[in-house]
Amino acid sequence: MISDARKTDLHSAAELFLEARRTATPIADLPASLQPASLEEAYFVADTMAHALQPEGTTAWKVGAPAPDAVPLFGPMISAWIADSGTLLGDRRHRWRGLEAEISFLIGKDLPPRTTPYTREEIVGAIASCHPAIEELEAGLTEPGKVARFTMIADMQMHGGFIHGPAVSEWQKIDFAKEKVTLAIDGSVQVERTASNTAGTDLLRLVLYLANEGAARTGGLKRGSWVTTGSWTGNTFAKAGSTVNVEFSTAGDVSLRFA
- The series of mean pLDDT values per 10 residues for the chain, 259 residues long, is 96 98 96 98 98 96 97 97 97 94 98 98 98 98 96 98 97 97 98 98 98 97 98 97 98 98
Structure confidence at residue 124 (pLDDT): 98
Structure confidence at residue 198 (pLDDT): 96
Dihedral sign computed on CA atoms, order 227, 229, 230, 232 = negative
Structure confidence at residue 24 (pLDDT): 93
Strand partners of residue 154:
none
Structure confidence at residue 166 (pLDDT): 98
Structure confidence at residue 125 (pLDDT): 98
Max distance between CA atoms of the chain, in angstroms, equals 52
Model confidence over 107-136: pLDDT tens digits?
999 999 999 999 999 999 999 999 999 999
Structure confidence at residue 114 (pLDDT): 96
Structure confidence at residue 239 (pLDDT): 97
- Is the CATH code 1.10.340.70 the one for domain 4-258? no
Structure confidence at residue 147 (pLDDT): 97
Structure confidence at residue 129 (pLDDT): 98
Model confidence over 34-71: pLDDT tens digits?
999 999 999 999 999 999 999 999 999 999 999 999 99
Contact 7, 128 (CB under 8 A): no
- Shortest CA distance to 32 belongs to which of 20, 16, 49? 16
Structure confidence at residue 160 (pLDDT): 97
